[in-house]
């Protein structure tokens, strides 16, 4: 048996010995596995319902001898959002490190997990300063990984080689996660808890504002569908450093609880991710719960540096063309 990630059954995390026993004695229980995992045994494989961990079979399926043999449908559900988030973080907090940028998404995960934190960015970047503030407020240890311009330049060719047809945005996000994963690995961690998925589940993008209920429903559906590609990108980068990303906001409990909230109530009165902020206000101070933060590629200063490198190499209007040049080198 080979397992990447972790498995739960009926809200209980399973040990490798318990998983092996189920595979042998109660194989029907495999279809009820929750967690974040890719599992191989004999000539079979299985992958978690949300597809958090990449693998050789589609998300939420069991394959044997190269053919579909069943589906993964976890039993753990919750209609109460706060309970869902608390449980999703709790069950992941037995080990690992939290990627902290200082926004509400990662701050709530850090507060509930109590795990050590890691923050990355260029010197004096917004995310480093903000993460420092939040870590002090939560009284959590924080490892700062300050990234130099030369490190970004030297790393870009490697990151482009790891990704499949990356866009400039993909490159900037992947570069940020590359240094998060490197810092986690260097600190002895494999599991990295992140705030990924919160924007798609709760409505964190500016495009959600001023949309009708019908438009919001379509936008939420399209953005949620995009998570599979994003997840593959992010786990590919994390895997290079022998780490993997754990995502509480994409726990099936959280996804189901959020789905019960009408889209227009998730983005309401000009407030994005309103239900998440309401939960966060019970665990964080008011400023952090309501803080509007830039996306990681902006807050770390990495996107600005990639654009500067493109201009320095003669590509004043196209990061894509600069990427093609790096790819050819």
Every domain of the chain and the residues it spans: 2-71, 81-299
Mean pLDDT of 181-209: 96
Asked whether the beta carbons of 257 and 202 are under 8 A apart, the reply is no
State how far the Cα of 215 lies from the Cα of 227, in Å rounded to an integer: 19
pLDDT at residue 77 above 90?
no
pLDDT at residue 78 above 90?
no
DSSP 111-163: HHH---EEEEESTT-HHHHHHHHHHHHHT--EEEEEPPHHHHHHHHHHHHHHS
Q: Over the stretch 287-300, which tens digit does the pLDDT of each residue have?
A: 999 998 888 999 99
Q: What are phi and psi of 152, to 5 degrees?
A: -65, -45
Mean pLDDT taken over the chain: 95
pLDDT at residue 17 above 70?
yes
State how far the Cα of 30 lies from the Cα of 267, in Å rounded to an integer: 37
pLDDT at residue 217 above 90?
yes
State how far the Cα of 279 lies from the Cα of 157, in Å rounded to an integer: 41
pLDDT at residue 124 above 60?
yes
Mean pLDDT of 224-253: 96
Asked whether the beta carbons of 209 and 189 are under 8 A apart, the reply is no
CATH of domain 81-299: 3.40.50.620
Sheet bearing 142-146, strands edge to edge: 142-146, 117-121, 97-99, 191-193, 244-246
- Is the model more confident about 327 or about 271? 271
Asked whether the beta carbons of 233 and 170 are under 8 A apart, the reply is yes
pTM: 0.94
- Residues of the chain above pLDDT 70, percent: 99
DSSP 237-306: HHHHTT-EEE-GGGSHHHHHHHHTS-HHHHSBTTBTTHHHHHHHTTTS-HHHHT-----HHHHTSHHHHH
pLDDT at residue 322 above 70?
yes
Residue 79, both tokens: 């209609």
State how far the Cα of 262 lies from the Cα of 207, in Å rounded to an integer: 17
Q: Over the stretch 38-62, which tens digit does the pLDDT of each residue have?
A: 999 999 999 999 999 999 999 999 9
């Amino acid at each position: 048996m080979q397992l990447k990630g972790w498995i739960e059954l009926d809200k209980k995390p399973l040990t490798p010995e318990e998983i092996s026993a189920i595979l042998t004695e109660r194989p029907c229980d495999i279809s009820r596995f929750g967690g974040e995992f890719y599992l191989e045994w004999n000539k079979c494989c299985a992958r978690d319902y949300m597809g958090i961990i990449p693998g050789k079979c589609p998300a939420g399926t069991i394959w044997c001898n190269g053919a579909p043999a069943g589906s993964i449908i976890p039993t753990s559900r919750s209609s109460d959002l706060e309970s869902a988030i608390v449980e999703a973080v709790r069950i992941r907090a037995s080990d690992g490190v939290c990627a902290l940028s200082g926004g509400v998404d990662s701050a709530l995960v850090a507060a509930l997990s109590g795990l050590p934190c890691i923050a990355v960015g260029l010197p004096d970047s917004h995310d480093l300063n903000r993460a420092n503030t939040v870590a002090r407020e939560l009284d959590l240890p924080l490892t700062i990984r300050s990234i130099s311009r030369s490190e970004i330049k030297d790393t870009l060719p490697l990151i482009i080689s790891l990704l499949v047809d990356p866009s400039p945005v993909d490159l900037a996000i992947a570069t940020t996660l590359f240094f998060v994963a490197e810092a986690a690995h260097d600190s002895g961690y494999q599991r990295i808890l992140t705030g990924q998925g919160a924007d798609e589940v709760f409505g964190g993008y500016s495009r959600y504002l001023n949309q009708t209920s019908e438009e919001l429903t379509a936008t939420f559906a399209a953005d949620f569908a995009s998570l599979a590609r994003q997840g593959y990108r992010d786990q590919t980068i994390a895997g290079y450093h022998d780490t993997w990303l754990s995502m509480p906001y994409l726990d099936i409990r959280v996804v189901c609880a959020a789905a019960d909230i009408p889209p227009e109530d998730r983005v309401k009165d000009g407030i994005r991710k309103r239900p998440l902020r309401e939960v966060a206000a019970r665990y964080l101070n008011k400023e952090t719960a309501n803080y509007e933060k830039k996306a990681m590629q902006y807050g770390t200063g990495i996107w600005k540096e990639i654009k500067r490198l493109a201009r320095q190499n003669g590509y004043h209007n196209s990061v894509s063309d600069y990427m093609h040049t790096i790819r050819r080198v």
